Amino acid sequence: MAKGTSKSGEITINDIAKELNIAASTVSRALNNSTKISEATKQKVRKVAEELGYEINLVASSLSKNKTNLIGVVIPNINSQFFAHALSGIQEEAKAAGYNVIISQTNESYEQEVEVMKVMNSARVDGLIVSLTMETKSTDHFNALVRKSVPIVMFDRVNFSVPGPKIVVDNYEASFKATQHLIGNGCKRIAHLAGNLSCKVFEDRAEGFKEALNKNILPLLPQFLLACDLNEKDTREAMKLWMSLDERPDGIVVASASSGLMIASIARSYGVTIPGDLAIISLGNERCNELMIPSISAVDMPGSEMGKAAAINLIETIKTGHIEDRIILKPIQLLMRNSTFKMA
Amino acid sequence: MAKGTSKSGEITINDIAKELNIAASTVSRALNNSTKISEATKQKVRKVAEELGYEINLVASSLSKNKTNLIGVVIPNINSQFFAHALSGIQEEAKAAGYNVIISQTNESYEQEVEVMKVMNSARVDGLIVSLTMETKSTDHFNALVRKSVPIVMFDRVNFSVPGPKIVVDNYEASFKATQHLIGNGCKRIAHLAGNLSCKVFEDRAEGFKEALNKNILPLLPQFLLACDLNEKDTREAMKLWMSLDERPDGIVVASASSGLMIASIARSYGVTIPGDLAIISLGNERCNELMIPSISAVDMPGSEMGKAAAINLIETIKTGHIEDRIILKPIQLLMRNSTFKMA
DNA sequence: TTGAAAGCGCTAACAT
DNA sequence: ATGTTAGCGCTTTCAA
């Protein structure tokens, strides 16, 4: 067998070359199915490669081609259903196109996001898919990648000061429709549990909420628009405040699915009936929303769809080299369930 | 400024070297904080590196060092809460130790698992974390990695014919306890919706179930142990069968969290009261279990914990080079909720 | 403490 | 259609 086995103990194209008494470059071309290699040679090369158990070393290939076939994914966290679905969609599309996916969470921390960009830079990813943290305001940490023309696709939590395709939903519309839906079902005193308003997603949701009240000549009552981090603690506090009021809200538009579920649960502990005393609709849908009793109305944000679109657009951008500032708007869906039908 | 800028447009150690009129090797050593470089030189090198915006090319470094600092993660899917938590835990530990994570889903397909192994092999991952598909019987597709002594840590869906640490829970115990719990709450006609029994996890769960019946001198009624793929279709069919019986089960041990939630939902559509007519406990816990009404009892499998343990053990194995067949058993927790308290 | 040079495994001119 | 050669950017002997 091949005697010139490489240092690392791996089979290389040199081993195949020696075995067949041909040049390594010929082996490389054969394995890459170059048109200028005879079928006969390709056959022989493939056979020996198979026999020797050769698997291409992508590290060497990447260095040589100055292209890693690696897509970096940077998201706030993997645990949320929305991002998990997005990641899953990204991975499927990437795999189909022959790309590998390298992933890092930022845990909603701007500082971590900055660090992660350095790692992705060093890993020489061919492109990046990002959903920003709630904290992120500056996008200077993308400059290094942008300068090198590394394609960057942002989805959901986007910032338009970074060039490249954006995959978004219309959060204003989502919130507007949700609020409208509550109003249509007789709610008069509607509250909104918002996320961090410096994050565009949550700002738009708050705006849609306010505009719907406006259009329907309903007042925005004091303390009925509360912005927070949408974690359990903040959600609990918001509810505590609302439940302490003489005139409690009779409907709540919640800026996230997980907070919506919590609110439903917390409401029960206050002896509040849903939807009788309080209607609830959340911006973002999880499977749980459907299974709960009562089921929780929601506006569905298509995580998997958005992830797939992000990957497809990124790969196209990588291939063409043209970084376009297009905006892809994914449709949302109002899911009317039992938590909002006061009349039912 | 540096005129010898590299072909790819990236700043390299050569650029730094030229700038300072020193050798590239010195720059390399300085940046790697080698002990045999003067502080003065280190300072100068770091300063220029900073100024030039140098970021190490990990591809080149990997090729040279024959080490990628890459951990491959192969799981059935990202969408399930269990695996999402595991992945999240893995990523956190990897990041803390300076490793990057490359991820691929197998979608419960053996064929895809085989393909993914080739990719991970080509990517030259330093180690692999795997949870097998339900279909996987042979582990021949791991042989290439095993021969090269690439550390492989398996968690949850493990196979002991592949050497390396295993992170598991005691599925037999989980199922035994769950069944015992139902029996303790007065169930006499207990059914088990099992997963693919050729998968050890589900085999163990079925065994634990049977043994608990045995120990309590309860019969395993015909058709009361149904194995399936635990998807929605199969779950629905199982329920259809059970609900068609003259004597329906009065308790069900479900082999997955998601199927458990479906069963609760399906049961309601049959007009069955939970837990009055039917008690339900699932092996695997999701946040939804707690929020539903009635809340669904479950045995919690610590996904994040298992992921972290997998990463920690993998990294240790990579560092020591000793592939040990140790088994790390993570504790499970019986979460008694309202779906199982007939007496309450 | 630093430099020179070879090499990791592959690809891509260029030559034949 | 195939071979020769020169890198890709880094690390690592071996010298000095």
Write the DSSP assignment of B31-95 as a string of letters. Answer: HTT-TTS-HHHHHHHHHHHHHHT----HHHHHHHHT---EEEEEES-SSSHHHHHHHHHHHHHHH
What percentage of chain B reaches a pLDDT higher than 70?
A: 97
Does residue B13 contact residue B27 with C-beta atoms inside 8 Å? yes
Q: Is the confidence at residue A3, as pLDDT, over 70?
A: no
What whole-number distance in Å separates Cα of residue A339 and Cα of residue A275? 5
The mean pLDDT value for A245-271 works out to: 95
Same domain, A161 and A178: no
Which pLDDT does position A344 carry in this prediction? 45
What percentage of chain A reaches a pLDDT higher than 70?
A: 97
Whether chain A has a CB inside 8 Å of the CB on B121: the answer is yes
What whole-number distance in Å separates Cα of residue A172 and Cα of residue A211? 9
Which pLDDT does position A5 carry in this prediction? 53
Substitution target in A291, A296, A305 with the highest count of B β-carbons within 10 Å is A291
Same domain, B274 and B310: no
Q: Is the confidence at residue A343, as pLDDT, over 70?
A: no
Same domain, B183 and B240: yes
Any domain includes A7: no
Same domain, B175 and B272: yes
From B149, B89, B132, select the one nearest B311 (Cα to Cα).
Answer: B89
Strand C nucleotides in reach of protein CB atoms, 7 A cut-off: 1-5, 7-13
Whether chain B has a CB inside 8 Å of the CB on A111: the answer is no
The mean pLDDT value for B302-328 works out to: 97
Residue B43: how many CA atoms within 13 Å on its side-chain side?
A: 3
User: Could you tell me how many CB contacts below 8 A there are between chain A and chain B?
Assistant: 129
Model confidence at B210, pLDDT cuts 50, 70, 90, reads very high
Strand D nucleotides in reach of protein CB atoms, 7 A cut-off: 1-5, 7-13
Any domain includes A8: no
What is the tens place of the pLDDT at every residue in B20-32? 999 999 999 999 9
Which residues numbered 284-323 in A keep a CB inside 8 Å of some CB on B?
286-288, 290-293
Model confidence at A167, pLDDT cuts 50, 70, 90, reads very high
Any domain includes B291: yes
Any domain includes B2: no
Same domain, A165 and A308: yes
Any domain includes A5: no
Same domain, B241 and B295: yes
Same domain, B280 and B195: yes
Same domain, A92 and A110: yes
Indicate the average pLDDT of chain A. Answer: 95
What whole-number distance in Å separates Cα of residue A127 and Cα of residue A230? 31
Counted domains in chain B: 3
Any domain includes A336: no
pTM score: 0.95
Q: Where are the beta strands (DSSP E) in B68-189?
A: 70-75, 100-105, 127-130, 152-155, 166-168
Q: From the Cβ of B31, is strand C under 7 Å away? A: no
Which pLDDT does position A191 carry in this prediction? 98
B52: domain CATH number is 1.10.260.40
Model confidence at B4, pLDDT cuts 50, 70, 90, reads very low
Which pLDDT does position A342 carry in this prediction? 74
Which pLDDT does position A2 carry in this prediction? 34
Task: Name the residue facing B55 among A68, A92, A122 (closest C-beta).
Answer: A122
Looking up tokens 């600092």, which residue turns up?
A: B69
Whether chain B has a CB inside 8 Å of the CB on A88: the answer is yes
The mean pLDDT value for B214-227 works out to: 95
Model confidence at B2, pLDDT cuts 50, 70, 90, reads very low
From A148, A105, A125, select the one nearest A311 (Cα to Cα).
Answer: A125
Q: Is the confidence at residue A266, as pLDDT, over 80?
A: yes
Q: Is the confidence at residue A261, as pLDDT, over 60?
A: yes
Side-by-side strand order, sheet with A190-194: A225-227, A190-194, A251-254, A279-283, A297-300, A333-335
Backbone angles phi, psi at A324, to 5 degrees: -105, 145
Same domain, B73 and B134: yes
| Dihedral-angle region of residue B156 (phi above 0 means left; psi in -120 to 50 means alpha; beta otherwise) | left
- The residues, ordered by sequence, that sit 6+ positions from B195 with a Cβ below 8 Å of its Cβ are B134, B201, B202, B205, B227, B228, B229, B230, B255, B256
Structural domain boundaries, residue B48? 13-56
Indicate the average pLDDT of chain B. Answer: 95
Which pLDDT does position B293 carry in this prediction? 85
From A221, A234, A222, select the one nearest A194 (Cα to Cα).
Answer: A234
A209: domain CATH number is 3.40.50.2300
Whole-angstrom CA distances from A23 to A14, A16, A26, B116 are: 8, 9, 5, 30
Which pLDDT does position B8 carry in this prediction? 73
Residue B168: how many CA atoms within 13 Å on its side-chain side?
A: 22
B5 versus A162: the higher-pLDDT residue is A162
Which pLDDT does position A293 carry in this prediction? 86
| Residue A225 CB coordination number (10 Å) | 18
Any domain includes B51: yes
List of chain B residues whose C-beta atoms are within 8 Å of the C-beta of residue A143: none
Which pLDDT does position B1 carry in this prediction? 32
Same domain, A38 and A70: no
Task: State how far Cα B218 lies from the chain centre.
Answer: 35
What whole-number distance in Å separates Cα of residue A36 and Cα of residue B19? 43
Q: For residue A68, what are its two tokens?
A: 């890693």
What whole-number distance in Å separates Cα of residue B61 and Cα of residue B54? 14
What is the tens place of the pLDDT at every residue in B114-124? 999 999 999 99
Q: Is the confidence at residue A8, as pLDDT, over 80?
A: no
Same domain, A175 and A291: yes
Model confidence at A6, pLDDT cuts 50, 70, 90, reads low
B13-20 vs B24-31: helix axis angle to the nearest 10? Answer: 110
What whole-number distance in Å separates Cα of residue B290 and Cα of residue B284? 12
Same domain, A202 and A262: yes
- The residues, ordered by sequence, that sit 6+ positions from B296 with a Cβ below 8 Å of its Cβ are B260, B261, B264, B280, B281, B282, B288, B289, B290, B337, B338, B339
The mean pLDDT value for B159-188 works out to: 97
Any domain includes B201: yes
Q: From the Cβ of B36, is strand C under 7 Å away? A: yes
Q: From the Cβ of A32, is strand D under 7 Å away? A: no
Which pLDDT does position B335 carry in this prediction? 97
From A241, A217, A215, select the one nearest A227 (Cα to Cα).
Answer: A241
From A324, A302, A304, A313, select the one nearest A128 (Cα to Cα).
Answer: A313
Does residue B93 contact residue B311 with C-beta atoms inside 8 Å? yes
Q: For residue B29, what are its two tokens?
A: 């050593």
